[in-house]
Amino acid sequence: MQYKSGAIFKSYIFTKKIKSNKMNVIGNKYHIDIDEEANWKLEMGDTEIFFDPEFRLHENTIQFGHVLAAPRKYEQNTQQFGELAQVGAKVYFHHHVHDKDNKVNASEVSDSKDFYMAEPLSLYCQVIDGDIHMLNDFVLVEPIEEDESNYKTSSGIMTKARPDMVPNFGIVRHVPKHASAYNLKPGDKIFFTDNSNYELNIEDKDYYCMQLHRDIPYVIEEDGTVRTIGRWGIVEPLDEGEDYEKNNLGLYVKRKYKVQKHKGRVHILSDHRDWEVSVGEDVIFDRKSMFATDIDGKTFYCVDILRDIILSYCV
């Protein structure tokens, strides 16, 4: 067989032709059918217009398609990967999947249609019979809207501004199967870490898509109490005034290094396991990956108990 391009050669590496001119997956990637024509076609009366997706591709990317083929021998880690997406299911995925470098021109080497390759961890959920089933470790969170505010345009017309979203808080709507091990369920109000509000429209509804074990430190119960989940704990800082140091001129300036060890007091621990520290214990913790949060008007830090707490000490 003579190959005409690198794209065709790529398709030979990741797929092989089997009976009935179908393509069978080799390796750990999905084959995803993305209907670009349906998404990039605009109808104006009797005229059909197709816009160029290369213009601002990040904004025009398509984040859903259908599974043509799934990995057959993927070694799964139950907590991280869970079940694989089903062949034929509608799936939503990371915007990087719809990139021309992932496209395989399979129609040039077989009767199969062209498709895009996707890593298992880039798939967020699948839709089966209208129901959303989360994949991997992903959670869909509904943003909490601030009160809508009115404002006046230059022509004097009163209109409503787009509501702002309450930062770092949301309502859980869809969870993976292993969420029960974290005691996390749909309807829970959560605090999530900075930059976890990846916006995604799924079945005509806007969500934040985030990872359960990495991005959700705690749940806010109906009575207002806080419950941390997984390996997260909450520490009260004891040395907030020590972010400055004296330079050689005798002036106090911000520390040169962001990675600092600080004193704190354990405020809340999850009941996920027996920890080597306890509530009320004074500790030294690493601040390079902590996240500030406000609880009852006071600042605390969310830390990974196993990773960020370095030692405990007596005062």
Separation between Cα atoms, residue 83 and residue 57, nearest integer Å: 30
Tell me the whole-structure pTM to 2 decimals: 0.78
Cβ burial, residue 51 (10 Å; 0-12/13-18/19+): exposed
In this predicted structure, what is the pLDDT of residue 97?
94
What tens digit of pLDDT does each residue of 106-158 get? 776 566 678 999 999 999 999 999 999 999 999 999 999 876 555 555 555 65
Mean pLDDT of 75-102: 82
When mean pLDDT is compared over 40-44, 254-258, 300-304, the highest value belongs to 300-304
Tens of pLDDT, residue by residue over 207-259, are 999 999 999 999 999 999 999 999 999 999 887 655 666 667 776 666 655 44
State both tokens at 15: 């797929």
Q: For 66-81, how does the pLDDT look when each residue is reduced to its tens digit (9 = 90+)? A: 999 988 766 555 455 6
pLDDT given for residue 61 in this prediction: 85
Which residue's entry shows tokens 């996240």?
291
Q: How far is CA 162 from CA 150, 159, 170, 194, in A?
A: 9, 10, 17, 22
